[in-house]
Chains A and B, each alone.
Chain A
Amino acid sequence: MTTTPSSERSDVTEAVPVPRTEPPVAAAKSHVAPVAARRSPAGFLMSLLQRYSLVALLIASVVAYGTWSRTSEVFLQAGVFQNITSSQSVLAVLTLGLLIPMISGNLDLSIGSTAGLASIGTAGLYADTGAPLVVGVLFGIAIGAVVGLVNGLVVTRFGIDSFIVTLGTASLILGIVNWYSGGTSIIQGIPQQVISFGGGKALGIPKLVYVLVIVALLVYYLLEQTPYGRNLHAIGSNKAASRLVGIRVERDTCLAFVLSGTFAGLAGVMVLAQQGAGNPQVGQSFTLTAIAAAFLGAASFKLGKLNVPGSLVAIFFLAVNITGLQFAGVQGWITDVFTGLSLVLAVAFAGILSRPKKHKQAQKPEAAHA
């Protein structure tokens, strides 16, 4: 089949001019007459609304509970905000760590139980050996890193779906925790500095929040400001193409699990500091909430993409509302109901809002084929 014209080339002395000055493109451009401004004010407002709707909802929630007669009295006390930020910092660290493998297209379902293992393991180390403060903290973080390494190696070496691998390790770790602790908390031998850090404040802000801020900056930097983060985005988009532009997919993916495990280990140490005890029950419940928060966060800031500020806003949006509703007298079940409902609604809402835009993109002249 001939697709290209079979002209004689001998009679042509002039090759196609150097592309830089090629006229057809310029000519073509002059044809495409703009009939409206590229971005109308209404469209700009719409995109603002989409990006920051969750932030607006967070602020609105704070205002609502602050003025609602049933909650305003309790809600406006400084202690409430300290409480919320402090209690959510553990979940937030887990969520931010989870973003790393998620952006590369993998899921880590083991973060919750890894945090639990790090928590009980560190408590046990303090109780059994009286290890120095720093050694315990590093031990907890190292536990997480090792779990992450195992996850990463199994996923990349054997090419097994991360969902299945980490579902398995999550259950495995849970079993180890229960075996090790016998199901009871470890309350003795935890250094006083650890406990006072977990409950302490500096400049009126809980100390755990400082840890969260540092982690958030680190993860943001890693994902958005380093070549490694760029590679993770590429792997998440197209693994085969990543390999063919020289990205070491296996190594980078494995490292993503090591990092999520490491942050889970840190979160475990934070739980220990917060509760003053190694609690075998802590952990698993974090996993699903963290995944929900990550997806909820993808509905703001960078629409449709997992991102650090979005995840943080999502976590605090959930926490403020759950706390507020509990102050208003709603029972404990509201936690799960509200989390589930907002996730489904937010994702659906983001989908509806972004549909016209997506539609336009998909239908752009000659898009995808032609």
Chain B
Amino acid sequence: MQSLAPVPSVTDSVLRVSELSKAYNGILALDGVDLDVRPGEVHALLGGNGSGKSTLIKVLAGVVEAEPGAVLQLGDEVTDLAGWNSDKAYAAGLRFVHQQPAVFADLSIAENIAFGTTFPKNRAGKIDWKALNARTADLLALFGVEASPTTPLGALRAADRTRIAIIRAVQDRDDATSGVLVLDEPTAALPAEEVEHLLDSLRRYAAAGQTILYVSHRLDEVLSVADRVTVLRDGRKVDTVAAKGLSEAALVELIVGRPLDRMFPEPTDAPAADVVLSVRGLRGGPLTDVTLDLHQGEVLGIAGLLGSGRSELLRMVFGAYPVDSGTITLGGRQVAFGSPSEAMAAGVAYVPEERQLDALFQGNSVRHNVSAGNARSYFSRLLFHHDAEKRDTQTAIQQFLIRVGTDTQAVETLSGGNAQKVVLARWLRRKPAVLLLDEPTQGVDIGARAEIYALVREATRNGTSVILVASDPEEMAHACDRVLVLRGGRIAADVRPPVTGDRLTALLAERSTA
């Protein structure tokens, strides 16, 4: 997209960082990175997990201190990054909106926005609600949010909540031309349907002459909204390129450093005919009547919109969601799991959608996270065999490509992709008969994504059969042998190869016409 601001000269930059390095425990997270952001542009910052994007943002925000020698230039002013802090960043017009913005769902929009500056008060010191609501209404109109200032934030859709966070960050900057709005994966928590609404706002904001530094994993978004793109890999800058005319394939190659066509493993030629898991007339929660067969060694996709019951379906098979009626047959035997432990005993594994909430044990080591639920296997003759557990974990770290210093490192220090591999290792080590995957690549960068699907494919060669839920049709098309479309509580379509993202998108969209 072209900015409406006057075309800036090459030397004209609103923010320029040079020779920026940062080491953690002796490991370089940033290695002499340069970044040059021009006024009025949307500048995208891309890179895989561990590439250093977040560190770069944190340095700019003044949260993390850079190694000596780095130089920051804001407009014409050159600053030494030593002693840079969040107050200085704020004064310089840098505004940050993080992935999960700190918003208060129970408070009104006006209150949420007022926390960014101050509440207007009358002479007695009482909050002047009238003035606050009027100011908020103006801001809402400016950013195209159709809501009243007194609406509780929780009542808004996700895209609007993110917009409110952006408004809060930039409310005092509507006529400033210096400064940069930094957005750290603003769309990561948004459903696909709402992303476009947010991007619209950003385009309008940039068109008004403001500068945006945009961090994201979603390449199509970047291409549709950014003017220029800087790619980081392993703490170094790969390149800064114009977004216009760039293809997704070229971007991926910049990010991961290898050609795109090798990113996803091939589906197996023909799934064996044996049915491993069969579901008949399953009813419960949003599901009214689901019937499906999972074949040996197959990756079966379940496509469905938010709220279609795709997650509930997996949970029912895992014994973690109540089933009203219907039968589940596993390996020829009818089963009715009352709890996850029963399902696990029968060889079912489940990677939940919400990694932080449902899968990771914060404060516990990588080792304990990998063997969670499996501790009993290291206990024999009244002794806990920590050495065997350590050996197994180190094997898993290698086998599942987990990038981690030691296995005693706390799991919350891992990036999204590595944390997901820990969860995957936990289950794949058990060599499950059936693996249920719910959004296994959410918050995972494209390189780790490919590795995760390669690991899943590897597991199918060793006898595991997989049911995969993912909200991205392209990803489903690449990773699955066959895809079932879940709609209206039942299986609406059985998509056989060749499965394409476009076909899935079309089938999912049929909802409105059906």
Contact = CB atoms under 8 A, between A and B. Distances in A.
Interface of A: 1-9, 11-12, 14-16, 18-20, 22, 24-25, 27-29, 31-38, 224-227, 230-231, 233-234, 237-238, 240-248, 304-305, 360-370
Contact of B188 (A245, A246, A369): A369
B64 A363 contact: yes
A1 B361 CA distance: 31
Contact of B413 (A9, A37, A245, A364): A364
Nearest to A364: B413
B372 interface: yes
A301 to B, nearest CB: 15
A226 B262 contact: no
B248 interface: yes
A4 B478 contact: yes
Given A4-B472, A363-B64, A368-B412, A24 B447 contact: yes
Given A5-B248, A365-B24, A370 B412 contact: no
B299 interface: no
A1 B472 contact: yes
A361 B379 contact: no
Which of B261, B339, B360: most chain A CB closer than 10 A?
Answer: B261
A134 B82 CA distance: 71
Contacts of A25: 401, 403, 451
B56 to A, nearest CB: 10
Contact of A7 (B24, B188, B249, B358): B249
23 contacts: A2-B220, A4-B263, A5-B252, A9-B264, A19-B455, A24-B256, A28-B234, A32-B235, A35-B27, A36-B26, A230-B384, A234-B373, A237-B362, A238-B357, A241-B357, A242-B361, A244-B358, A245-B373, A304-B363, A363-B58, A365-B415, A366-B52, A366-B416
Contacts of A2: 219-220, 248, 472-474, 501
A7 B261 contact: yes
A37 B25 CA distance: 8
Q: Is the interface of A mostly helix, strand, loop or mixed?
A: loop
Given A19-B400, A31-B235, A370-B443, 20 more contacts: A2-B472, A2-B473, A3-B219, A3-B472, A7-B260, A12-B261, A14-B262, A16-B264, A22-B451, A31-B31, A225-B384, A234-B373, A238-B360, A241-B357, A245-B426, A365-B54, A366-B416, A369-B99, A370-B50, A370-B51
Given A31-B235, A238-B360, A238-B362, A245 B416 contact: no
B54 A233 contact: no
A21 to B, nearest CB: 11
Contact of A367 (B235, B357, B412): B412
Given A19-B400, A32-B28, A370 B445 contact: yes
A4 B257 CA distance: 16
Interface in B430-454: 443, 445-447, 449-451, 454
Contacts of B151: none
A293 B403 CA distance: 38
Given A5-B263, A6-B248, A241 B359 contact: yes
Nearest to A10: B498
A323 to B, nearest CB: 35
A234 B372 contact: yes
A244 to B, nearest CB: 5
B341 A248 contact: yes
A230 B367 CA distance: 12
Interface in B27-74: 27-29, 31, 49-55, 58, 63-64
B249 A1 contact: no
Contacts of B341: 246-248
Contacts of A368: 412, 415-416
Contacts of A237: 361-364
Contacts of A6: 248, 474, 477, 501
Interface in B128-143: none
A103 to B, nearest CB: 11
B322 interface: no
Given A3-B475, A366-B53, A34 B340 contact: no
Given A19-B400, A31-B234, A246 B373 contact: yes
Contacts of A34: 26-27
Interface in B318-350: 318, 320, 339-341, 344-345, 350
B375 interface: yes
Interface in B363-386: 363-364, 368, 372-376, 378-379, 383-384
Nearest to A227: B375
Contacts of A11: 261
Nearest to B21: A35
